[in-house]
Amino acid sequence: MMERLFFGAVATVLIFSALMAVGTRNLVRAVLWLGLTLATTSMFYIMLHAPFLATLQLILYTGGVLSLMLFGVMLTRRSTEQHGVEVHNESNGQRRALPIVAVAVGLIVTAVGRTDLSTATPAAVSPETREIGQRILGTHLLAFEVLSVLLLAAMVGAIVIARRKDASLEGKDDPRDRAAALPGSRLSSERET
Amino acid sequence: MGLESYVLIAGFLFCVGLYGILTRRNAIGVLVSVELLVNAANINLAAFAHFGRGLDGQVFVLFTTALTVAEVVVGLALVILLFRRRKDILLDLANGLKG
Amino acid sequence: MTLVTWALLALFVPLGVAAFIGLVVPLRRTGRPAALISVAGALVSLASAGMVLAGGSAALKPGVHATVGWLTAGTATAVGVHLDGTSAWMLLVVTLVATCVQIYSLGYLHDEPPPALGRYFTYQSLFLFAMNTLVLAPNLLQAFLGWELVGLVSYLLIGFYFRKPSAAKAAVKAFWVTKFADLGFLIGLVTLYAQTGGFEWTAVTPAATFVTLMLFFAVMGKSAQFPLHIWLPDAMEGPTPVSALLHAATMVAAGVFLIVRAEPLFEQAALTRDVMAYVGAFTALFAACVAVVQSDIKKVLAYSTCSQLGYMVAALGAGDTFAGYFHLSTHAFFKALLFLGAGSLIHAVHSNELKDMGGLFRKMPFSGTVFVVGALALAGVPPLAGFFSKDLILEAMHHHGLHVPLAALAIAAFLTAFYMTRTVMLALFGTPSHAAEHAHEPGIDMKLPLAVLALLAVGAGFLGGPLAGLTGHDYAFHFTPVGGAGTAIGLVGIGMGYFMFGPAQGGAAIKRGFAPVGAFIRYGLMDRLATVAYGIMLAVGAIIAWIDRYVIDGLMNWSGWILLVLGRRLRALQTGNVQDYVYAVALAVVVFGAWGILR
């Protein structure tokens, strides 16, 4: 009984915070609601006897990804100021997105209902973290190594993408004017009108 | 709690993320929604690992986590580039590839 | 050395030469040495082909088959050489004409810059390899390889003067028209494979009609049959020796050769053969009409080639393989001769236009003579080469009861004689133009191939008997009413052409020879009749040329335009908004998910 109550509470918090993360107009708040969702997910991991994952979730996501996103929001702050606070509920997008999401929910419920999942019983003992490490460096060694290459590529790629193209221009004039002078932006501003 | 509860919750979470991807105008808002999607998948993996008495599910969660971090890093770099070019990060205005 | 060794030599020496002068860096840029190496390679290839033919007419009869396995996954296929009378003779024709053309090119392209010359001869050697691959193919798959390779080389050589926009366009046009037709080849191949599990020439399959129709579609593209002939006149943008080799003697005849080779398949498909008979006869007539009103000497010859290929296709459609094959080989000689002869006229006056020529016979007696020989052979004057093969085709049509195609071919024979006479009169006799005043004979390197081909244009008709023996057919020349009528029609055409374009413009020696004919035609009513007939012919020719230009070309342009409009409409789907694309993905996931779950 207690377990049910606890699960219900966690699930409610999870879904509610996710809805807020998607629905709130203020971007900073949206990111913070996402943080709550991620933290609640780690509760699920604990209930699923995966304490290592729960810890990792808190450290990596709530610590790393969240602060990264907050940086992103801050760096692009002027956007939200210019266009008012994030206008996300475009009626057009909403009208076409809702049916598809409703159908998706229906499909998932149907699929879960049709599949016999209740016979599966949880494992009695939780696996040790040591075993996970052995798995990673044993069976999944190749995937692990490939992943490290991917991370390196992502790092290099992010630097290359976000780097300023012409260092000599830096600090000479207002970056806003420079952005406006780029051919791409002029083209798109014409499209907007 | 049975496996189906976890799977259902993960499914709902996924749909919320899907809705966010489709409706958010702001690029960072879309990134937030993508995080929700990945989390839904991760919950599923962990749940099946627990109920299927295997460890591979947990290992996979680790891998997807690393992948997500890479995705966020590159995604934010793109957002910043977009911002520098256009002074905003609203996706529906960034339609330079319009045919 | 065995026959197969010789055949392999004929096949791979040109490839080696092409690779050598194309890849060894300084060689191609030096031009002349590369050209000489290429000519030497062609000569080796020719000698090998000669050895194959000389070595064993007895051995050739059952056919020599030497292959190695290739793509052996699943059902084994093979590449290699298949030698019998048909392929051995074709090998000789191809290498002979190619050698003549290469030697001729030494003189014709003398003023080209060295790198261009090296490029040209690299392509020439590559062409020889490609064509031999096709000729020696032991199955349809290798034939397809060769088929595509010659198409590629054709594209490269038409676009040889690629800085000239019209040449570049012509190359692209030729490429995509023939590629479009080649789709038929591919479909036919796949169907054949699905039906029989192989690519054999002699396959027996209930789907033969479909397969052969598809193959014939490819032939229509390669051998310039109506309505896919539109690329051939444009292909005249290439250098004249190229037109002689690829677009008159060998490559365009590859389609005809393919049908000859795949005879067992085509024998199973009566419908395809009927289609071939009518398409071929119509092309022969149609192209001959157009040729009458062309002002460009190469265009005259190009349409003439279309027309003659129509003859061959019609003969094959009638089921008389030997008639088509015989005409293929004689045509290869006299049409190459005509093109090369026209090339030396063009070389002398630096223009393709007939009006820039005139009176060249006096300045260039040798080139003039060989051109006249070629024209007479084409017109079917006995005992030149065209006489035998053309009569055989007419006779075959008659024998198989195809009277409508026969009539079309007979009219085409008349027109052929007529337009060739017109061309000869305008180019070689009459008032010399300004440019023609300074014309002079080409050098020995151009004269020698002309002489060789002229001899063959005169004598190849007498090879009919041995050739029939070699390919396992039965042929001996004998006079038939139909053939005689065909020859008579040709002579009337010559007389008419002479009457229309001859007398006013001199050319004393020839004129005296034809004087009785001229007097006969000039007499009384014939005069007016001829004028009216010429007027009608001119009008019909002009109308058909107009249809070719605007309706048939227009049809192609129209299909392009449809695609353009369709593209413009579909472009609206690309909004450039990322979320629209995500929406499409989500929609697809939901649809497929629903299909998977609710099924």
What pLDDT digit, counting tens, does each position of B26-45 carry?
Answer: 888 899 999 999 999 999 99
Question: Which residues does A188 contact at the CB level (< 8 Å), separation at least 6?
Answer: B86, B93, B94, B95, B96
Please spell the DSSP secondary structure of C122-173, one letter per residue.
HHHHHHHHHHHHHHT-SSHHHHHHHHHHHHHHHHHHHGGGTTSHHHHHHHHH
Quote the CA–CA distance of C1 and C11 in Å, as a whole number: 15
Cβ contact C456:C380 at 8 Å: no
Instruction: Say if residue B63's pLDDT is above 70.
Output: yes
**Greatest CA separation for chain A:** 69
Whole-number pLDDT of residue C455: 87
Instruction: Say if residue A173's pLDDT is above 50.
Output: no
Cβ contact C300:C416 at 8 Å: no
pLDDT band at A167 (very low <50, low <70, confident <90, very high): low
- Token pair recorded at residue C524: 């009384």
CB pairs under 8 A between A and B: 257
CA distance A9 to chain B (A): 12
Quote the CA–CA distance of C17 and C46 in Å, as a whole number: 14
Instruction: Say if residue B12's pLDDT is above 90.
Output: yes
Is B34 in the C-facing interface, judged by CB distances under 8 Å? no
Question: Which residues does A79 contact at the CB level (< 8 Å), separation at least 6?
Answer: B26, B83, B87, B88, B89, B90
pLDDT band at C538 (very low <50, low <70, confident <90, very high): confident
| Residue pointed to by tokens 């008997």 | C465
Instruction: Say if residue C586's pLDDT is above 50.
Output: yes
Instruction: Say if residue B9's pLDDT is above 90.
Output: yes
- Tell if the CB–CB gap between C597 and A100 is shorter than 8 Å: no
Least confident piece of the model among A31-40, A173-182, C65-74, C119-128: A173-182
Query: Which of these CATH numbers, 3.40.190.10, 3.30.1050.10, 3.10.20.600, 1.20.120.1200, describes A1-77?
Result: 1.20.120.1200
Least confident piece of the model among C118-127, C248-257, C354-363: C354-363
pLDDT band at C528 (very low <50, low <70, confident <90, very high): low
Is C575 in the B-facing interface, judged by CB distances under 8 Å? yes
Q: Where are the domains of chain B?
A: 3-97
Q: If you average pLDDT over every residue of chain C, what do you get?
A: 82
Instruction: Say if residue C151's pLDDT is above 80.
Output: yes
Q: Which chain C residues are Cβ-neighbours of B30 within 8 angstroms?
A: 579
CA distance C567 to chain A (A): 21
Quote the CA–CA distance of C53 and C9 in Å, as a whole number: 14
Quote the CA–CA distance of C48 and C217 in Å, as a whole number: 33
Average pLDDT (B8-18) is: 93
pLDDT band at A44 (very low <50, low <70, confident <90, very high): very high
- 3-state SS, residue C81: strand
Instruction: Say if residue A87's pLDDT is above 70.
Output: no
Instruction: Say if residue C169's pLDDT is above 60.
Output: yes
Q: Which chain B residues are Cβ-neighbours of A151 within 8 angstroms?
A: 66, 69-70
Question: Which residues does A33 contact at the CB level (< 8 Å), separation at least 6?
Answer: A17, A18, A20, A21, A24
**Greatest CA separation for chain B:** 51
- Token pair recorded at residue A26: 């203020």
**DSSP for residue C353:** B
Q: Which residues of A91-103 are buried (b: 16+ CB within 10 A; e: fewer)?
A: eebeeebeebbeb
CB pairs under 8 A between B and C: 32
Is A63 in the B-facing interface, judged by CB distances under 8 Å? no
Instruction: Say if residue A114's pLDDT is above 90.
Output: no
Bond prior to C481 in cis (omega within 30° of 0): no
Question: Which residues does A52 contact at the CB level (< 8 Å), separation at least 6?
Answer: A129, A132, B58
Q: How many CB atoms lie within 10 A of CB A2?
A: 6
- Cα angle C257-C259-C265, degrees, rounded to a multiple of 5: 145
Whole-number pLDDT of residue A82: 55
Percent of chain C with pLDDT over 70: 92
Chains that touch C (3 or more CB pairs under 8 A): A, B
Q: Which chain B residues are Cβ-neighbours of A35 within 8 angstroms?
A: none
Q: How many CB atoms lie within 10 A of CB C169?
A: 14
Among chain A residues, CA nearest to C585: A100
pLDDT band at A92 (very low <50, low <70, confident <90, very high): low
Among residues C318, C217, C332, C214, the alpha carbon closest in space to that of C267 is found at C318
Cβ contact C301:C346 at 8 Å: no
Quote the CA–CA distance of B35 and A33 in Å, as a whole number: 12
Instruction: Say if residue A177's pLDDT is above 60.
Output: no
Among residues C265, C52, C237, the alpha carbon closest in space to that of C154 is found at C237
Among residues C381, C380, C382, C357, the alpha carbon closest in space to that of C367 is found at C357
Q: Which chain A residues are Cβ-neighbours of C586 within 8 angstroms?
A: 100, 104
Q: Which chain A residues are Cβ-neighbours of B63 within 8 angstroms?
A: 140, 143-144, 147
Instruction: Say if residue C501's pLDDT is above 80.
Output: no
Say how many residues make up chain C: 599
The contact set of A with C (CB < 8 A) is 93, 96-97, 100, 103-104, 107, 110-111, 114
**DSSP for residue C224:** T
CB pairs under 8 A between A and C: 21
Instruction: Say if residue A30's pLDDT is above 70.
Output: yes
- AA letter at C65: H
- Tell if the CB–CB gap between A107 and C586 is shorter than 8 Å: no
The interface predicted TM-score (ipTM) is 0.90
Instruction: Say if residue C517's pLDDT is above 60.
Output: no
Cβ contact C298:C306 at 8 Å: no
Task: For residue C117, count CB atoms less than 10 angstroms from its CB and return exposed for 0-12, middle for 13-18, buried for 19 or more.
Answer: buried
- Token pair recorded at residue C108: 């014709």
- Tell if the CB–CB gap between A110 and C598 is shorter than 8 Å: yes
Q: Which chain B residues are Cβ-neighbours of C579 within 8 angstroms?
A: 21-22, 30, 91-92
Q: Which one is predicted more confidently, C206 or B12?
A: B12
Quote the CA–CA distance of C201 and C539 in Å, as a whole number: 45
Quote the CA–CA distance of C15 and B72 in Å, as a whole number: 55
Whole-number pLDDT of residue A13: 94
Is B98 in the C-facing interface, judged by CB distances under 8 Å? yes
Bond prior to C227 in cis (omega within 30° of 0): yes
pLDDT band at C525 (very low <50, low <70, confident <90, very high): very low
Question: Which residues does C72 contact at the CB level (< 8 Å), separation at least 6?
Answer: none
Question: Which residues does C84 contact at the CB level (< 8 Å), separation at least 6?
Answer: C60, C61, C62, C63, C64, C471
- Tell if the CB–CB gap between C576 and B18 is shorter than 8 Å: no
**Spacing of C-alpha C292 from chain mean position:** 19
Percent of chain C with pLDDT over 90: 7
Q: Which chain C residues are Cβ-neighbours of B91 within 8 angstroms?
A: 577-579
Name the β-bridge partners of C77. Answer: C70
pLDDT band at C117 (very low <50, low <70, confident <90, very high): confident
Least confident piece of the model among A144-153, B74-83, C375-384, C527-536: C527-536
Average pLDDT (C197-218) is: 86
Whole-number pLDDT of residue C53: 82
Q: Which one is predicted more confidently, C311 or C77?
A: C311
pLDDT band at C447 (very low <50, low <70, confident <90, very high): confident
| Residue pointed to by tokens 């209740």 | A118
Whole-number pLDDT of residue A180: 47
Distances (CA, A) of A127 to A3, A31, A123, A144: 21, 33, 9, 20
Instruction: Say if residue C73's pLDDT is above 80.
Output: no
Is C597 in the B-facing interface, judged by CB distances under 8 Å? no
Most confident of B78-92, C261-275, C469-483: C261-275
CA distance C179 to chain B (A): 29
Q: How many CB atoms lie within 10 A of CB C58?
A: 7
List phi, psi (to 5°) of C145: -60, -50
Quote the CA–CA distance of A150 and A153 in Å, as a whole number: 5
Least confident piece of the model among A86-90, B73-77, C200-204, C212-216: A86-90
Instruction: Say if residue C367's pLDDT is above 80.
Output: yes
| Residue pointed to by tokens 């392209």 | C109
- Token pair recorded at residue B62: 């680790």
Instruction: Say if residue C36's pLDDT is above 70.
Output: yes
Q: Mutation test of the interface with chain A: which of C585, C592, C595, C597, choosing the one with the most A Cβ atoms within 10 A? A: C597
Whole-number pLDDT of residue C509: 43
Distances (CA, A) of C51 to C135, C247, C319: 16, 27, 31
Task: For residue A167, count CB atoms less than 10 angstroms from its CB and return exposed for 0-12, middle for 13-18, buried for 19 or more.
Answer: exposed
CA distance C578 to chain A (A): 12
- Tell if the CB–CB gap between A82 and B15 is shorter than 8 Å: no
DSSP-based helix, strand, coil % in chain A, nearest 5: 75, 0, 25
Listed by number, the residues of chain A in 146-185 with a beta carbon closer than 8 Å to a beta carbon of chain B are 147, 150-151, 154-155, 157-159, 161-162, 164, 175-176, 179-180, 182, 184-185
Q: If you average pLDDT over every residue of chain B, what do you get?
A: 88
Whole-number pLDDT of residue A89: 44
Among chain B residues, CA nearest to C579: B22
- Tell if the CB–CB gap between B85 and A185 is shorter than 8 Å: yes
CA dihedral C321, C255, C283, C385 (to 10 degrees): -60
pLDDT band at B14 (very low <50, low <70, confident <90, very high): very high
Quote the CA–CA distance of C438 and C363 in Å, as a whole number: 8
Is B94 in the C-facing interface, judged by CB distances under 8 Å? yes
Whole-number pLDDT of residue C443: 80
Quote the CA–CA distance of C273 and C281 in Å, as a whole number: 12
List phi, psi (to 5°) of C359: 65, 20
- Token pair recorded at residue C120: 């040209």
Whole-number pLDDT of residue A187: 42
Question: Which residues does C96 contact at the CB level (< 8 Å), separation at least 6?
Answer: C46, C49, C452, C456
pLDDT band at B64 (very low <50, low <70, confident <90, very high): very high
Least confident piece of the model among A62-76, C500-514, C543-557: C500-514
**DSSP for residue C228:** G
- Tell if the CB–CB gap between B98 and C586 is shorter than 8 Å: no
Quote the CA–CA distance of C122 and C124 in Å, as a whole number: 5
CATH topology of domain B3-97: Helix Hairpins (1.10.287)
Whole-number pLDDT of residue C523: 45
Name the β-bridge partners of C149. Answer: none
Average pLDDT (C450-461) is: 85
Average pLDDT (C513-522) is: 47
